[in-house]
Amino acid sequence: MVQGAQQQVDPIRVGTSLPRQDGPDKVTGRARYAGDQALPGLLHARLVLSPYAHARILNIDVSTALAMPGVVAVFSAETLGLAQADPLTRSQSPLAQQEVLWCGHPVAIVVGESEAIAQDGADAVEVEYEPLPVIIDPEAAIRPESALVRSDGGTAGAGGGGAHAAIPQGGGTGEQEELSPNASPTPPIKIGDVEAGLREADVVVERTYRTQPVHQSYMEPHSVTVAPSRSGHQLVIWPSTQGLLNVRSAVARALKMPERQIRVESVTIGGGFGGKETLIEPLVAAVASRLRRPVRLVYTRQDDLMAGNPAPQMITTVKLGAKKDGTLTAIQGRIIVDMGAYPNPLGGLSGFHLAAVYRCANIDIRGYQVQTNKPGTGAYRAPAGPQAYFAMESTVQDLCQQLGMDPLQFRLINGLKEGDPNVMQGRWPRIGLLECIEQVQQHPLWARREQAGQEGVPEGWKVGIGAAVGGWPGGTEPAAAACRMESDGTFTIVVGSVDISGSDASLALIAAEELDMAAETVNVAHDNTDSMPYSGLSAGSKTTYTVGSAVQAAARDARNQVLAIAADMLEAAVGDMELRDGRVQVKGVPEKHVTLQQIAARSMNFGAPYEPIYGRGRSANRVSSPMFAAHVAKVAVDPETGAVRVLDYLAAQDVGRAINPAEVEGQIHGGVVQGIGWALLEGMAYDEYGQLLTSTLMDYALPQSQDVPIITPLLVEVPSDLGPFGAKGVGEPPVVPVAAAIANAIKDAVGVRMTQIPMTPERVYAALQGQK
């Protein structure tokens, strides 16, 4: 480490002449991206990451790096000088300011002629640190005597659901609790008198559960390319993101630029699962703007694990009370959400999940957002859902066992239905929770569970079957879309959403249904932020629900325009027109018709008498359509080693209406597989010094093909009143009940209650030994 005072070194290597970068990279030998020829002089960036989880930055020496051939610039937080360097907002303060807050915190960014040169430059940057106390355990961080996670004393702010879900921002008041500056309470959820409900109960069960941070593990890591104009006053951005307008706004705030001077292009991305909202885009935009050169930053897999934004660790205590007849009398919960080094509005979701499945007159749920010296957290498919329902549904299973009641019957007695009061001071809309439970109750995997055989199971292994339910509140956001007829009679739908889940196929089917056209005649196009219709994040299972509604309205508008032109051309009434097989005809007189190509020719040519067909649609669904699922897992457990295999899996889900059944089933398959990862394999482990022990895919375990059983999806259709053709969101619920269903199946097999995920062989074996 370099000693002494901060050196005053110009961060930019002035006068460097860069060669054109056509063809393979001369240093790495790797092929260029297809768009490189359109970006002459493309530069590459690499990050200098902190090896300490908490330390004060004393000195950054960039002289050696700048002396290396091909290194163009090195920036620290001080020399980059973002306009709105809010230390509590990670995307606005992407480089550490005087203090690093987790192992992997970016300290500097190095720009070079190739990735290899930039990496060599990053390795040559020398940083002097003064280590500070490291707080990794959220239970320790919440105590009043805890050391500070950050010296500026910034704390986690209470949050709601962010851009992912519509959840309450309040609902009760509680006693003040002494907390450290690292922690803050979320709005409590309080209904009735929980202590009275516990006294009324014949059986009370209380358990505490722990999870670990989990990475989204998308195929494509975080990446972004930014190209400035020669003047530096305009930027074009190609990000791997779930929200184009979100990126534009974040970059505008960071660089203090008008949004109209920033254009974000839609690109195909390799997965997101909530982890790709806005992270590195403002940083790279600031560098490109300073250098007035195109710059690309692509995370390595290790970068993504160390400097991404994983799902948070949670510690959840659940206390339930019930009468002998199965009536639930009390739900009490205490949740600690480890937000890492930055506040996150998603923390408020955790408490809502505990009150979002069962009808109960007495509820008291307290939540706490806690900062630790870990990376700031983000969303991951049904944020806080897998953790909260692992706790809730495991406790429900133990409650049923003590009551001597069938676990699905208990859920049918207490499960929410339309008209029940909710914690948002309203009533539940039409929901399909009970229908999902009834579907799995009738399925042979559950109905014949007592006869579960040992076929294909190694000798000595124990077989068990478990069930769990879960849900997602859904989200709302306005959206707009356009529907344009082309000269060949086909239609193009223009949207601003990002297709990360196959949603484009559903949008095309919605438009085709509204137009009475074949699906292959509808194309979906994504425009950039200069001209695209409004769309929020593609997240929270709301794309089909919100953008789909706008697409339906746009297609209806276009259809009406087509019928009006055809009626005029055929000298008939609009009400007598019908659109079939690519032509508009008079009802009952099919020989009297015009083709869509003829209409296009009369509305899109020089001197044409009719206006072009251009439908516009908007939506603002003010009420969400909650989604629910019921799952059953069959597992085998080896008592000698603690190994667990999932043998069979059943997933019933209320999808409203399955616009694209194959896509819906694919979403359920994918969610269950990710849930298996949560349950048995995945977890980011840190040592006492805050060092990430699972920083590569050699250490961070993901489900492989042999870990995935036969998954049977059951599509339950309880239509939404607002979604297009009754559709609801699909993506979030499939992951929610999985860990709990597998934990309950393990309990059924070997009699131990697992209270921590992932349920690795070591943990299962330790639980079995503890039972003995």
Q: How many whole angstroms separate alpha carbon 137 and alpha carbon 122?
A: 31
**561 residue type, one letter:** Q
770, exposed or middle or buried, with CB in 10 Å at 0-12, 13-18, 19+? exposed
DSSP of 167-231, one letter per residue? Answer: --S-S---------TTEEEPPPEEES-HHHHHHH-SEEEEEEEE---B----SS--EEEEEE-TT
Strand arrangement, sheet containing 589-595: 577-580, 583-586, 589-595
Number of C-beta neighbours around residue 35 at 10 A: 15
Q: How many whole angstroms separate alpha carbon 659 and alpha carbon 623?
A: 20
732 belongs to the catalytic site = yes
- The separation between the first and the last C-alpha atoms of the chain, rounded to the nearest angstrom, is 52
Q: How far is CA 656 from CA 147, 352, 426, 629, in A?
A: 49, 22, 21, 12
Active-site residue, selected from the candidate residues 78, 520, 732, 762: 732
Q: How many whole angstroms separate alpha carbon 735 and alpha carbon 678?
A: 9
Q: How many whole angstroms separate alpha carbon 495 and alpha carbon 550?
A: 9
Contacts of residue 341, defined as CB under 8 A and 6 or more positions apart, other chains included, come to: 90, 101, 102, 105, 149, 150, 371, 372, 373, 374, 375, 376
Q: Are strands 262-264 and 363-371 parallel, antiparallel or unpaired?
A: unpaired
Q: How many whole angstroms separate alpha carbon 190 and alpha carbon 201?
A: 18
Q: Considering just the CA atoms, what is the radius of gyration of the chain in Å?
A: 28
Alpha helices in 485-528 (DSSP H): 503-515
Strand blocks (E) in 16-100 = 43-49, 55-61, 71-76, 99-100
Contacts of residue 428, defined as CB under 8 A and 6 or more positions apart, other chains included, come to: 416, 417, 418, 419, 420, 421, 422, 626
Contact between 413 and 324 (Cβ < 8 Å): no
Q: What positions carry a catalytic annotation?
A: 732
